[in-house]
Amino acid sequence: MTRSDHVRLDSPSIGGTREVVVHGHWGRPVLWFPSEGFGADEFADRGMLDALRPAIDQGLLTVFCVPSHDEESWSASWKPLADRARAHLAYERWIVDHVVPFVHERCGGRTDIVTAGPSMGAFHAVLFALRNAHLFGRAVALSGSYSTWAWRGWGEGDVDTYLTDPMSFLPTEHGGHLEHLRRSLHLTLVVGSGRWEDTTGAHASTRALAGVLADLHIPHELAVWGTEWPHDWNSWQAQAATYLPPLGG
C-alpha cells in the first residue's frame, strides 16, 4: 500500500495555507506541479500515482504534489502580464521558503529534488529549475509551452515579465550564471506528436527551448514521441513512468 499524506503548509506570500500531498516513504524527492489551475490531488486523480506506483513503493521516489497558483498568476487573463508575473513570484517564494525545507526534512536531509509536471506543470518545472538550479538540479517536463508572451500576454513588459519567461531570459544568459547552469542543471524535455501537441504550442515550444539549451551547452535531452501520443494524460503517465524512475534511488 502506497503511503500518502496530506499536509498543510503556511503560505504567507500567497495567503493562508496550502495543501501538499506526499506519496511515498523513501527515495529521491520529486516536486510535482499540476496542469493549469489544478490542485495537489490531480496527480492521483489522473492516474499518475498508478503510473509511478512501482517506483514509489520500491522506495525510489517520493512525490510531493503542490497545488497551482495559476488562477492568480498566468491564468488571470484580466491582469496585465506584469501583474501575473509578480503573482507567480509570490508563488515561487512559497515553494522556495516553505515547500523546499519541508521536502528536505521529510526526506532526511536529501536535497537532490527533481521538478516535474505536465503542460503548465512542465512550464513550472522548467522555470523553477532555471531560476533555482541550486535547489532543483533536474527537471522532467512533459508537453510544456515555455514562453509566457506566447500564451496570452498583454500590457507592458518589465523586469518581472522578463525574468519569468524562459524564452526571454535564457538566450541572454552568460558569464558565471551560465556556467552555474551548465554545472548544476539537467533538463529532460518530452513532447508527443499527436493530437493537441501542435494546437497547444507544446510541440514547437519544446523544440525551441531545446534549441536554446543546445546553443548554450546546458545539459538536456529532447524526447519527441510519435503521433500516437497526444497532449493528454495517457501520454504523461507513460512518459513519467519512463523518465522519472531511472532518476530515483
Q: In what order do the strands lie in the sheet with 4-10?
A: 4-10, 17-23, 61-65, 28-32, 113-118, 136-142, 186-191, 220-224
Coil, helix or strand for 19?
strand
| In contact, 244 and 190? CB cutoff 8 Å | no
| In contact, 185 and 221? CB cutoff 8 Å | no
Beta strands in the chain (DSSP E): 4-10, 17-23, 28-32, 61-65, 113-118, 136-142, 186-191, 220-224
Q: What is the pLDDT of residues 191-206, one digit of tens each?
A: 999 999 999 999 999 9
Q: What is the pLDDT of residues 121-159, one digit of tens each?
A: 999 999 999 999 999 999 999 999 999 877 666 777 899
Torsion sign across C-alpha atoms 158, 32, 37, 4 = negative
Q: What is the pLDDT of residues 50-99, one digit of tens each?
A: 999 999 999 999 999 999 999 999 999 899 999 999 999 999 999 999 99
Q: Residue ranges of the alpha helices (H) in 58-108? A: 81-94, 100-106
Q: What's 246's DSSP letter?
A: G
pLDDT score at 156: 79
CA distances from 64 to 9, 47, 145, 214 (A): 12, 15, 22, 30
pLDDT score at 248: 96
pLDDT band at 12 (very low <50, low <70, confident <90, very high): very high
Which residues make beta-bridge pairs with 139?
A: 115, 187
Domain of 115 in residue numbering reads as 4-247
CA dist 50 and 59 (Å) reads: 15
Number of domains in the chain: 1
Q: What is the pLDDT of residues 150-180, one digit of tens each?
A: 766 677 789 999 999 999 999 999 999 999 9
Which residues make beta-bridge pairs with 30?
A: 63, 114
| In contact, 150 and 166? CB cutoff 8 Å | no
Q: What is the pLDDT of residues 209-249, one digit of tens each?
A: 999 999 999 999 999 999 999 999 999 999 999 999 999 98
CATH of the domain at 28: 3.40.50.1820
Q: Nine-digit cell at 217?
A: 551547452
- Type of residue at 248: G
pLDDT score at 249: 87
Q: Nine-digit cell at 238?
A: 507513460
